[in-house]
């Protein structure tokens, strides 16, 4: 086993509770038989970000990736309300500037360039990480603000059978149920998950001190996922994943709308097959995926019925080789084909994409470096070469200095290109460069206490930024490469963990300052040079306190979001608190856990999106039952 | 300078002695029907007015002729209907404008140069219900608490001899600016508007403004409806056969479009305000390219007829 592998194993065994930065191993081997190997595409050198704790986001207080990101990171989640559309802004980027990767495949809609994060159940994820900053060299189009990497797998580590059932009831007609069954038998392992959640969302809010009640805001989501793993040999595995999901939701009226009858129905099917072979100094991966999604929007009031759907097929080959002790080389080839249907396209639109990627990682003593490059051929034309270079230096065992420079791009979406009227097939890709530098001193580190601080300064300029607007002389909205956006900021995190007798305390605090300004005077939409982009708060802060004491767990999350401008008006800053309490009861042969959750504990009257009311204080109670039976 | 002075005295005279009303019934529409495509003509003609229309790829702009009667369906799927459900004075047909920047009502040669006496005006169902109830893009007037001083304003100006008149006429299609909310209103009936105060005109320009705007422009649906446009007949016009009754755009980037009869071969000159000729030629189509003009104000002069038009090149 090479030193790199040994180091990786050590890192894995020690574990990293929150930060991604300690997890930069290229190959990880679990203590058990199963071989886990990650390519150097994950957690690239020089990047910063967060890895989320599975034991947190699979609890009953967090239901979606939107909630997970919106509470414990500097990601601004633009949520239209509970159960409604939620998109992200990372480092001052747009919703289309966050790449979402599930089991190594980008899953944002090729029609919209983004994904509704409220439709990503966190219970279906076993790993979740946010890598902030440009990642186009690794993940391609859209990885400008950051990359959210999600992984679902057959993760049972010992032979046996486990089961879990979780139910919760709460305010506004909330009902949540989720279950997970896992098995491992000889060389076969599998995980089956199910979830269902619904709510009437008939919450009260106030306008000019007058109580109002939200209407037509009910939603229902359900889905299941199957993950299978066949460990063909110690070094060879085949994994299959199937994810089906269905969402029905009413679109509530705005606060300046008397009524709404709009509804949206989403149907999602994602599947993936992955073969992996681990050699002495290599990892070879061949994988394929098929995605199919459908959005059916119906508004009987105004007679609008809009059905859109797409199918995407992806094939990818990746080889990672460690030709010498300190270096790893990566070569990858990705081919994808998308077919999309929308009445506004007039015909079936398609997109064919071929990508070649390469990477080189060097690690020696106090230095690490990674050079990545990507080039793509999309619908008959070559896109510019996209490189990135990351460096990491440990001048002292308690200090890490790292940085990254990267070129990034986003290709116009199918809607940008083909929507009629307005779509423009000749749009240019958005592109630009980003730079960042991070200092991470480890202030305190011993067996019982750990205190880390991290500060990142970043800078990014994106040209040809695409905006839809009605241009002078036109009668309909159309996209154009009209804006140039300069984003820069400072991100800070403080992580503290301590073992005090039988209890474990974890505290995480973060603060982000982000300026993201359009650099040109634009007539339509009306944007002045130097103005902060709409829905990009300059100030965001979050804090989390997690305390485990014997069979008790207490979690408090707090978030401050600064004021934002919107399309029509400015929205005030707001602070939100979330409280979660759980008690475990071992009742052989099962383990039961009772939980109590308070959302918006301080009953803040706030808005994330203009004219969209948000609920005040609400609660949920939950029961979780776990069953485990392992082979002796 | 001498030429310019000559031009300044070369205005033509017209007088009127009768009126014609454009009722839009000449299109023969039945209740529920509409026309959003005037092709092969570039405008719908009724009485002595022309309402420009463009239709391309299934999308229209400018004006449509409508006899739709739906007063209850919100949204753009019901974009042709007037909130009255019928034309003015119980008639079937009316005209609906979809305004981007402004909409133009041009007077035919029989009425150009004389005053427009008046017209009937009301809200479209789309705009009315949007202001009353709100929609996904636009607010209900009065806002969340009913006290917002909202308004939806139609402004009418005129062109005469290629020059935009200084006077304008405002008509509030909705007005929520009253301190007493019970006085707030959205127009839901045909309202007779006297336009004679604008004086003689070749064309009228309609523009819409609303209190509900965003960085993308006006949120309130940019529609309104008119009917029974009464124009004054011009009984004696100098050189009627040679009269240009519309020249546009003004201001322009690099060309002028001429609308009229017997234009072919007519000599023209373009003079700057010092009277210096910067371009001359003969008309071979309905378009004059402004090849020799830099940015500024010019006069287009037809020597044979003595007609002149002032325009600005951007």
Contact A469 B216 (CB under 8 A): yes
Which chain B residue lies closest to A534 (C-alpha atoms)? B215
Kindly state the average pLDDT of the residues B114-140: 95
The predicted-structure confidence for A383-429, as pLDDT tens digits, reads as follows: 889 999 999 999 998 999 999 999 999 999 999 999 988 899 999 99
How many other CB atoms are there within 10 angstroms of residue B155's CB atom? 14
Contact A475 B74 (CB under 8 A): no
Contact B78 A303 (CB under 8 A): yes
Residue numbers in A near B134 (CB within 8 A): 253-254, 256-258
More confident of the two residues B185 and B259: B185
**Is pLDDT above 90 for B101?**
no
Q: What is the pLDDT of residue B253?
A: 83
Contact B133 A420 (CB under 8 A): no
**Is pLDDT above 90 for A222?**
yes
Which of B61, B215, B217 faces A527 most closely, judged by CB atoms? B215
Token pair 């994950």: residue? A42
Mention every residue, 6+ apart, whose C-beta is less than 8 A from residue A37.
A27, A28, A29, A276, A278, A283
The predicted-structure confidence for A229-243, as pLDDT tens digits, reads as follows: 999 999 999 999 999
* B117 CB within 8 Å of a chain A CB: no
Neighbour-count burial of B307, counting CB atoms closer than 10 A to its CB (0-12 exposed, 13-18 middle, 19+ buried): buried
Which of A301, A476, A567 faces B74 most closely, judged by CB atoms? A301
The predicted-structure confidence for A529-565, as pLDDT tens digits, reads as follows: 999 999 999 999 999 999 999 999 999 999 999 999 9
**Highest mean pLDDT: which of A178-182, A628-632, B100-104?**
A178-182
Which chain B residue lies closest to A208 (C-alpha atoms)? B145
Contact A534 B139 (CB under 8 A): no
Contact A6, A13 (CB under 8 A): no
Interface test mutation site (partner A, options B79, B98, B216, max chain A beta carbons within 10 A): B216
Which of B77, B213, B217 faces A303 most closely, judged by CB atoms? B77
Q: How many whole angstroms separate alpha carbon A579 and alpha carbon B106?
A: 67
The predicted-structure confidence for A476-528, as pLDDT tens digits, reads as follows: 889 999 999 999 999 999 999 999 989 999 999 999 999 999 999 988 888 89
Which of A208, A255, A421 faces B59 most closely, judged by CB atoms? A421
Q: H or E element: which one contains A99?
A: strand A98-102
What length does chain A have? Answer: 632
Kindly state the average pLDDT of the residues B197-220: 93
Give me A463's structure tokens.
């040209």
Q: What is the pLDDT of residue B246?
A: 74
The predicted-structure confidence for A267-310, as pLDDT tens digits, reads as follows: 999 999 999 999 989 999 999 999 999 999 999 988 889 999 99
Residue numbers in A near B219 (CB within 8 A): 568
Mean pLDDT score of chain A = 90
Q: What is the pLDDT of residue A617?
A: 97
Cα end-to-end span (Å), chain B: 23
Closest CA to A97 of A373, A384, A429, A340: A429
Kindly state the average pLDDT of the residues A106-129: 94
Residue numbers in A near B143 (CB within 8 A): 256
DSSP 8-state secondary structure symbol assigned to residue A121? B
Contact B171, B156 (CB under 8 A): yes
Q: How many whole angstroms separate alpha carbon A534 and alpha carbon A518?
A: 10
**Is pLDDT above 50 for A108?**
yes
Q: What is the pLDDT of residue B6?
A: 39
Mention every residue, 6+ apart, whose C-beta is less than 8 A from residue A548.
A503, A504, A505
Interface test mutation site (partner B, options A214, A250, A302, A536, max chain B beta carbons within 10 A): A302
Cα end-to-end span (Å), chain A: 29
Pairing relationship of beta strands B163-164 and A304-324 according to DSSP bridges: unpaired
Contact B57 A259 (CB under 8 A): no
Residue numbers in A near B214 (CB within 8 A): 525, 567-568
> How many Cα neighbours within 13 Å face the side chain of A124?
25
Q: How many whole angstroms separate alpha carbon B42 and alpha carbon B50?
A: 9
Contact B214 A253 (CB under 8 A): no
Q: How many whole angstroms separate alpha carbon B127 and alpha carbon B130?
A: 5
Give me B102's structure tokens.
């402004």
CA of A126 vs chain B CAs: smallest distance (Å): 37
More confident of the two residues A295 and B296: A295
* B100 CB within 8 Å of a chain A CB: yes
For residues A340-366, b (16+ Cβ closer than 10 Å) or e, as one string? bebeebeeebebebebebebebebeee
Q: How many whole angstroms separate alpha carbon A180 and alpha carbon A223?
A: 12
Which residues, listed in sequence order, are joined to residue A290 by a DSSP beta bridge? A271, A313
Q: Which of A300-309, A546-555, B8-17, B208-217 has the lowest mean pLDDT?
A: B8-17
The predicted-structure confidence for B229-253, as pLDDT tens digits, reads as follows: 999 887 544 443 445 657 778 778 8
Residues of A with CB under 8 A from a CB of B: 207-208, 210, 253-259, 262, 299, 301-304, 420-421, 469-470, 472-477, 524-527, 534, 567-568, 611
Contact A168, A174 (CB under 8 A): yes
CA of A568 vs chain B CAs: smallest distance (Å): 5
* B41 CB within 8 Å of a chain A CB: no
How many Cβ pairs within 8 Å bridge chains A and B?
83
DSSP per-residue codes, A353-412: EEEEEEEEEEEETTEEEEEEEEEEEETTEEPPPEEEEEEEEEEETTEEEEEEEEEEEEPP
* B137 CB within 8 Å of a chain A CB: no
Q: What is the pLDDT of residue B308?
A: 67
Which chain B residue lies closest to A522 (C-alpha atoms)? B215
Which of A207, A253, A526 faces B145 most closely, judged by CB atoms? A207
Which chain A residue lies closest to B130 (C-alpha atoms)? A257
* B9 CB within 8 Å of a chain A CB: no
* B144 CB within 8 Å of a chain A CB: yes
DSSP 8-state secondary structure symbol assigned to residue A476? S
* B218 CB within 8 Å of a chain A CB: no
**Proportion of chain B above pLDDT 90, given as a percent:** 55
Give whole-number Cα distances, B229 to A62, A82, A296, B116, B124, in Å: 63, 51, 44, 8, 17
Contact A524 B216 (CB under 8 A): yes
The answer, yes or no, to whether ipTM is higher than 0.95 is: no
Give me A223's structure tokens.
């889905």
Pairing relationship of beta strands A349-364 and A367-378 according to DSSP bridges: antiparallel
Kindly state the average pLDDT of the residues A196-204: 96
Q: How many whole angstroms separate alpha carbon B289 and alpha carbon A597?
A: 73
The predicted-structure confidence for A52-105, as pLDDT tens digits, reads as follows: 888 878 787 888 999 999 988 889 999 999 999 999 999 999 999 999 999 999
Kindly state the average pLDDT of the residues A201-222: 94
Q: Is the peptide bond before B40 cis (omega within 30 degrees of 0)?
A: yes
CA of B270 vs chain A CAs: smallest distance (Å): 26
Which of A207, A301, A524 faces B217 most closely, judged by CB atoms? A524
Closest CA to A19 of A487, A408, A447, A456: A456
Helix (H, G, I), strand (E, B) or coil at A157: coil
**Is pLDDT above 60 for A34?**
no
Which of B73, B135, B144 faces A255 most closely, judged by CB atoms? B144
DSSP 8-state secondary structure symbol assigned to residue B305? T
Scan residues 251-290 of B and list those with Cβ closer than 8 Å to A: none
Interface test mutation site (partner A, options B72, B79, B144, max chain A beta carbons within 10 A): B144
Contact A301 B75 (CB under 8 A): yes
DSSP 8-state secondary structure symbol assigned to residue A124? G
Which of B57, B133, B217 faces A470 most closely, judged by CB atoms? B217
Which of A301, A472, A525 faces B216 most closely, judged by CB atoms? A525
Residue numbers in A near B76 (CB within 8 A): 302
Residue numbers in A near B59 (CB within 8 A): 421, 475-476
Which chain A residue lies closest to B70 (C-alpha atoms)? A302
Contact B75 A256 (CB under 8 A): no
């Amino acid at each position: 086993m090479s030193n790199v592998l040994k180091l990786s194993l050590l890192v894995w065994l020690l574990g990293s509770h929150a930060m991604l930065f300690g997890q930069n191993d290229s190959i990880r081997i679990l203590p058990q038989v199963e071989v886990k190997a990650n390519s150097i595409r994950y957690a690239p050198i020089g990047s910063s970000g967060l890895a989320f704790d599975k034991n947190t986001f699979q609890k009953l207080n967090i239901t979606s990736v939107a909630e997970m990101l919106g509470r414990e990171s500097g990601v601004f989640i633009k949520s239209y309300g509970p159960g409604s559309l939620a998109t992200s802004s990372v480092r001052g980027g747009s919703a289309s500037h966050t790449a979402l990767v599930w089991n190594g495949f980008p899953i944002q809609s090729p029609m919209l360039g983004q994904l509704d994060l409220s439709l990503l159940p966190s219970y279906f994820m076993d790993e979740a990480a946010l890598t902030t900053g440009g990642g186009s060299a690794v993940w391609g189009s859209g990885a400008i603000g950051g990359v959210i990497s999600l992984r679902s797998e057959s993760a049972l580590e010992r032979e046996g059978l486990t089961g879990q059932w979780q139910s919760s009831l709460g305010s506004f007609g909330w009902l949540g149920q989720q279950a997970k069954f896992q098995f491992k038998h000889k060389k076969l392992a599998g995980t089956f998950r199910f979830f269902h959640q619904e709510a009437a969302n008939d919450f009260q809010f106030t306008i000019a001190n007058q109580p109002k009640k939200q209407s037509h805001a009910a939603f229902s989501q359900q889905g299941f996922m199957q993950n299978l793993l066949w460990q063909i040999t110690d070094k060879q595995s085949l994994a299959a994943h199937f994810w089906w999901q269905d969402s029905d939701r009413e679109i509530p009226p705005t606060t300046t709308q008397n009524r709404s009858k709009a509804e949206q129905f989403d149907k999602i099917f994602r599947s993936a097959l992955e073969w992996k072979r681990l050699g002495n100094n290599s990892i070879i991966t061949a994988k394929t995926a098929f995605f199919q999604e459908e959005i059916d929007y119906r508004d009987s009031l105004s007679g609008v019925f809009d059905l859109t759907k797409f199918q995407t097929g992806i094939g990818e080959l990746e080889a990672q080789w460690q030709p010498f002790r300190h270096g790893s080389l990566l070569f990858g080839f990705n081919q994808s084909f998308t077919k999309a249907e929308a009445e506004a396209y007039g015909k079936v639109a398609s997109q064919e994409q071929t990508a070649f990627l390469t990477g080189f990682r060097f690690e020696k003593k106090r230095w690490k470096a990674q050079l990545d490059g990507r080039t793509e051929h999309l619908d008959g034309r070559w896109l510019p070469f996209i490189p990135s270079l990351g460096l990491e230096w440990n001048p002292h065992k308690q200090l890490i200095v790292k940085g990254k420079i990267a070129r990034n791009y986003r290709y116009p979406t199918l809607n940008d290109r083909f929507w009629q009227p307005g779509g423009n097939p000749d749009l240019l890709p958005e592109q630009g460069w980003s730079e960042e530098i991070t200092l991470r001193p480890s202030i305190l580190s011993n067996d019982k206490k750990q205190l880390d601080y991290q500060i990142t300064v970043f800078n990014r300029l994106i040209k040809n930024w695409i905006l839809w607007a009605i241009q002078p002389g036109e009668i309909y909205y159309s996209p154009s490469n009209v804006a140039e956006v300069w984003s820069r900021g400072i991100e800070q995190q403080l992580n503290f963990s301590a073992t005090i007798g039988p209890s474990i305390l974890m505290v995480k605090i973060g603060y982000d300052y982000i300026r993201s300004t359009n650099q040109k005077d634009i007539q339509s939409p009306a944007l002045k040079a130097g103005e902060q982009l709409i829905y990009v708060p300059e100030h965001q802060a979050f804090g989390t306190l997690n305390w485990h004491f014997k069979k008790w767990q207490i979690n408090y999350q707090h978030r401050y979001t600064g004021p934002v401008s919107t399309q029509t008006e400015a929205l005030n800053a707001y602070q939100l608190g979330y409280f979660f309490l759980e008690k475990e009861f071992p009742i052989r042969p099962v383990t039961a856990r009772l939980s109590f959750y308070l959302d918006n504990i301080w009953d803040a009257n706030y808005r994330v999106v203009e004219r969209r009311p948000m609920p005040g204080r609400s609660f949920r109670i939950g029961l979780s039952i776990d069953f485990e039976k392992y082979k002796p | 300078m001498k030429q310019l002075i000559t031009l300044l005295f070369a205005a033509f005279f017209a007088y009127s002695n009768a009126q014609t009303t454009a009722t839009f019934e000449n299109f023969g529409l039945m209740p529920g029907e509409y026309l959003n495509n005037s092709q092969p003509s570039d405008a719908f003609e009724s009485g002595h007015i022309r309402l420009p229309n463009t239709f391309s790829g299934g999308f229209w702009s400018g004006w449509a002729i409508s006899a739709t009667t739906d007063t209850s369906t919100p949204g753009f799927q019901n974009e042709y209907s007037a909130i009255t459900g019928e034309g003015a004075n119980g008639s079937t047909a009316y005209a609906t404008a979809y305004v981007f920047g402004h909409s133009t009502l041009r007077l035919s040669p029989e009425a150009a140069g004389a005053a427009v006496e008046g017209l009937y005006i009301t809200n479209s169902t789309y705009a009315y219900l949007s202001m009353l109830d709100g929609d996904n893009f636009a607010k209900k007037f009065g806002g969340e608490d009913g006290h917002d001083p909202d308004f939806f304003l139609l402004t009418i100006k005129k062109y005469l001899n290629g020059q935009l008149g200084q006077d304008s006429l405002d008509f509030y299609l909705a007005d929520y600016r009253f301190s007493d909310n019970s006085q707030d209103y959205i127009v839901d009936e045909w309202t007779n508007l006297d336009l004679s105060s604008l004086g003689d005109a070749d064309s009228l320009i309609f523009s819409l403004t609303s209190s509900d705007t965003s960085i993308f422009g006006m949120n309130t649906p940019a529609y309104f409806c008119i009917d029974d446009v009464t124009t004054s007949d011009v009984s004696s016009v100098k050189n009627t056969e040679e009269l240009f009754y519309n020249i546009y755009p003004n201001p322009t980037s690099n060309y002028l479009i001429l609308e009229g009869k017997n234009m072919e071969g007519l000599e023209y000159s373009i003079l700057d305000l010092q009277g210096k000729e910067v371009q001359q030629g003969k008309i071979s189509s309905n378009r004059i390219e402004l090849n020799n003009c830099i940015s500024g104000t010019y006069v287009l002069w037809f020597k044979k007829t003595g007609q002149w038009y002032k325009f600005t090149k951007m």
